[in-house]
Structure 1
């Protein structure tokens, strides 16, 4: 905003000496006065040139020296001072403008409101709100009364400087100074509140304008809509947009874009697309910002197809996609699991001469990470410097995560250590992904080392970092360390969550510590953490391994009381606990009840139930379960067959046991040592020593290792058979 009291004179920067000489020759006595004015104008241009030559940080003495010969001319015609100050405002030179005012006061020249307004405007344009405040505050002491232009420029300076409190104070002080705020005053104050995240104040100011007989304009509404957008108030933003015609204010592209962005941030992709389609009906042409907001809304809503369609439609609407358009579309592809599309969009950016940035690359790398394409992710990261794009912590973190998902913990650690060489500072995400990579690779020592090194790198571990480390200890069978990490989290001001407790319970389960697992599960409620399926399943499995089938069943039944639905893992652990406790009836009951819970039994469910029947001497039920598996679209595996063969062996049904063994290849299941041992045991029960010896030979032919059980049993059977022959 430039404030000029009178029309500016044209300032030329040509050959002023020649101009002066030509003027002198053409002037007579009657034109002396006009020639003198022209000379002063030329001199003013030279003064401006010299002031500009001082740069942006002159000192007061330099400015005073340049103005020394010109100030007397300004005494005659103050408009020349206004012209110089206005030019300095346009060129964003507030310090020079302030020193010009100081020089005028030092020579007792009148500095009027137009001079001050121009200087304050220079401060506003250069975002020097402190200087603007100083100038405004000094005006009454210099017997210059600020007007609405003075206040508006100062409020705008505060808005650009993020000083919404000062902007509000100035606005409220204007009536006390007998200055009536206008729509510019309110719009600048609303915009200041918008930038300060004060959407409630922005709405209050907008609503107060009619009471102050000030009509809101496009700028007022757009600033208020933008404030609602930043405050996450998409409903209010839409309400303001729809109310504009009622106030006889026609929305423009800025109004629509702010409302679209509000809907986008609020996850309202349908409304965002509706606003975009309505813009032409309101004779508003969508621009890059409009489309970018719509593509971003589709990205947040998981609508990658729509995002792609919007991007491809932009050229037909004479809107050129920019890096923001492409980056949002690539991110939409990433969230939709479309890594091929993400790579295609990234490559098309270069083809269409759209500048690539770290956001575009990071989104594409993340897409490759989610698609399990760790090699492509590494390739993208390494190609960034060739495209003059510096990888940042997001790029590295996404690539480390890709290596983690690909089971490449060595590469993940290498990337983490190389970040410092590229001036990319590792953050929580980088470390957490690397710790998780070590966890999956069974490197619990490295995982703990990374966690402990985070504070040294001034990176505060969060719950994800701790969860990954606890999981690493769980996989490494270090339940004591897992519990130590869990207990240390509050000391680091990190609140354990469901994942933290579930990983610790699982560590106790693997370590055979069912009592500790139960204690952790019960303590979750005290810590205001609601157990989930994983927490309960790990605790049930811990009880199963500890032979506590009653506790396991109790936990399963209590899940519904905690509004947690059991899953296949919960039931499988409970059935397995019944197997170890010899409770075949309960195991079968649990298996049959899974369908009532809309759960589909898998091979683990059936195997546990068959094992239970085997231990309970219920070979018929074991065979029934095995034969019913294909009907339930569950393919039996070697564990299923082994359990059924064992059941037949215990029931003295050696023929059935051998039949099952011979049928395994037809089901594409390869018999193993356990299969043969169970069949040999069945032959032992039936005194079939020749068959047992044949099975033992078959094991050798199949390159199977004879285990102790199979060898002992076949030896006993052979001995029995030989005794019978001799007798």
Structure 2
């Protein structure tokens, strides 16, 4: 018995804490995963596990509880050894648990409350080495919960395997705690196994609620983290047929992540429509980001525009990343009017912190050749950011190219290079952040080709830059 002395020091020192630990029990299962009939780990668990084979099983009487309290009180006031104190439990003919097991489990409970996984695992190893059979289901359950709290996935799964291999029963709460842990770490195959065990357990026990929505969602999240998309979709189909299926903020988030990971815009639109129709919860900024990203991947730009119109009156949900996604949609569709209005809104909300929103707004002008607006946005960016970006200049050149505004392109050329006649070099660049790349040279070559300025074309071709596909094609055309 002296081998657990080091662990016993971690036990609660006050009488009230001892009473709570032994008489009220240790409910180690997260409350959101417990149903009314879930097996809680409490004092009855201690007294219902496998202990002395010779004892007669029975219920804990009020006399037993009184003796526990008296023994603990005596221990607190007189300093009697904890293990010796627990021996008083054997005075009841109905107590079926070894005092040593209770002592170990109390130490495990203290480690669990302090989130000390290393201590829990050490205690379990000591229990395995004991000459008596002291390990029981409660021991494993408490140790598993400690590992869950500490995000020790491998250790939690190993203890789960040991528990089941030892012939002990695993309860709903322990399985659900493990599923919650896996939902944050992956291990999809393990999650599917646990889900099936939980399903059979619910059927066997004729559980009132059976499988709850969180069981499906945690399994889906685990499979998503493991890139097991077919299994995730299959689990969603099962959830949808379940009587407990309800679209709330939690399920909405998980299912949107499923739609995004599988690029399923139909599921995304279905979920969004249902959420807007039912209005049972508030959509968050993260929800909208998942929705818009999924729709952008599938080119559903009209739906993105509709969502933006619905979102315009919710400024509390605005941030740079979300509004930039809508800008990306307008940039792709060429909707320069809505793009410019959105850019002004971002400026008003002080959400313009980089050149990317300006760049997207300029690109929205390309399809229609709105070169005046493109240059206006470029000037806005220069004023607000107090710096230049060659990507924005390239985007403006592309807009001017569509509009066939060769003179405007020549003016932009003068902003990038010193106006020094027909010869140029790398040392003649105005700004270090405006170093032209292959696309810059390609656009300028096209403009000077159309105004038939051969000396400028030769000078541009002499600038050492890495060829882009467009520049490479132009070089070949000019050689013919």
Give TM class, smaller chain. 0.5 to 0.7
Kindly report which structure 2 residues correspond to 1:541-690, keeping only aligned pairs within 5 A, or say none.
none
Report deviation, 1:298.
Answer: 1.1
Distance 1:104 1:238, change over 3 A: same
| 8 Å contact from structure 2 (residues 263, 294) kept in 1 | yes
Structure 2 residue 432 is matched with structure 1 residue 404: no
Counterpart for residue 190 of structure 1: 220
Q: Which of 100, 107, 127 in structure 1 is aligned with 2:126? A: 107
Counterpart for residue 323 of structure 2: 291
Structure 2 residue 250 is matched with structure 1 residue 219: yes
Partner of 1:252, secondary structure, is coil
Report deviation, 1:258.
Answer: 2.4
Structure 2 residue 342 is matched with structure 1 residue 334: no
Report deviation, 1:299.
Answer: 1.6
| Partner Cα distance (1:104, 1:311) in 2 | 61
Counterpart for residue 117 of structure 1: 145
Report deviation, 1:218.
Answer: 1.9
Partner of 1:240, secondary structure, is helix
Distance 1:4 1:270, change over 3 A: same
Report deviation, 1:78.
Answer: 3.1
TM-score, normalization: structure 2?
0.54
Kindly report which structure 2 residues correspond to 1:406-555, keeping only aligned pairs within 5 A, or say none.
406-407=444-445, 408-411=460-463, 414-416=464-466, 432-433=469-470, 435-436=472-473, 438-440=475-477, 442=479, 475=480
Report deviation, 1:333.
Answer: 0.9
Report deviation, 1:103.
Answer: 1.6
Report deviation, 1:5.
Answer: 5.5
Counterpart for residue 432 of structure 2: 382
TM-score, normalization: structure 1?
0.38
| 8 Å contact from structure 2 (residues 336, 361) kept in 1 | yes
Distance 1:212 1:440, change over 3 A: same
Q: Which of 357, 378, 385 in structure 2 is aligned with 1:350? A: 385
| Partner Cα distance (2:146, 2:236) in 1 | 28
Report deviation, 1:130.
Answer: 5.7
Report deviation, 1:265.
Answer: 3.2
Kindly report which structure 2 residues correspond to 1:173-212, keeping only aligned pairs within 5 A, or say none.
173-176=197-200, 178=202, 181-192=211-222, 202-212=232-242
Cα-to-partner distance string for 1:76-106 (whole Å, 9 max, x where unaligned): 4433211332xx7xxxxxxxx4x44432222
| Partner Cα distance (1:224, 1:242) in 2 | 13
Distance 1:241 1:305, change over 3 A: same
| 8 Å contact from structure 2 (residues 29, 177) kept in 1 | no
| Partner Cα distance (1:76, 1:231) in 2 | 47
Larger radius of gyration: 1
Report deviation, 1:235.
Answer: 3.5
Cα-to-partner distance string for 1:540-586 (whole Å, 9 max, x where unaligned): xxxxxxxxxxxxxxxxxxxxxxxxxxxxxxxxxxxxxxxxxxxxxxx
Report deviation, 1:248.
Answer: 7.0
| Partner Cα distance (1:438, 1:270) in 2 | 39
Counterpart for residue 228 of structure 1: 259
Partner of 2:334, secondary structure, is coil
| Partner Cα distance (1:375, 1:265) in 2 | 38
| Partner Cα distance (2:315, 2:28) in 1 | 32
Cα-to-partner distance string for 1:262-283 (whole Å, 9 max, x where unaligned): 33333333422322332477x7
Report deviation, 1:116.
Answer: 1.5
Partner of 1:78, secondary structure, is helix
Report deviation, 1:368.
Answer: 4.7
Report deviation, 1:246.
Answer: 6.3
Report deviation, 1:399.
Answer: 1.8
Kindly report which structure 2 residues correspond to 1:55-66, keeping only aligned pairs within 5 A, or say none.
none
| Partner Cα distance (2:394, 2:160) in 1 | 52
Distance 1:299 1:183, change over 3 A: same
Counterpart for residue 395 of structure 2: 367
Distance 1:434 1:296, change over 3 A: closer
Structure 2 residue 121 is matched with structure 1 residue 84: no
| 8 Å contact from structure 1 (residues 155, 171) kept in 2 | no
| 8 Å contact from structure 1 (residues 113, 144) kept in 2 | no
| Partner Cα distance (1:115, 1:380) in 2 | 67
Distance 1:76 1:185, change over 3 A: closer
Report deviation, 1:176.
Answer: 3.7
Kindly report which structure 2 residues correspond to 1:694-705, keeping only aligned pairs within 5 A, or say none.
none
| 8 Å contact from structure 2 (residues 185, 225) kept in 1 | no
Report deviation, 1:342.
Answer: 5.2
Report deviation, 1:255.
Answer: 3.2
Question: What is the Cα-based RMSD across aligned positions, in Å?
Answer: 4.4
Report deviation, 1:256.
Answer: 3.4
Between Structure 1 and Structure 2, which shows a larger proportion of helix residues?
A: 1
| 8 Å contact from structure 1 (residues 156, 189) kept in 2 | no
Q: Which has the higher contact order (CA 8 A, sep 6+)?
A: 2
| Partner Cα distance (1:400, 1:119) in 2 | 55
Structure 2 residue 64 is matched with structure 1 residue 33: no
Report deviation, 1:435.
Answer: 3.0
Report deviation, 1:244.
Answer: 3.2
Partner of 2:476, secondary structure, is helix
Number of aligned residue pairs: give it. 327
Counterpart for residue 152 of structure 1: 180
| Partner Cα distance (2:155, 2:345) in 1 | 47
| Partner Cα distance (1:311, 1:134) in 2 | 54
| 8 Å contact from structure 2 (residues 179, 191) kept in 1 | no
Report deviation, 1:215.
Answer: 2.9
| 8 Å contact from structure 2 (residues 148, 156) kept in 1 | yes
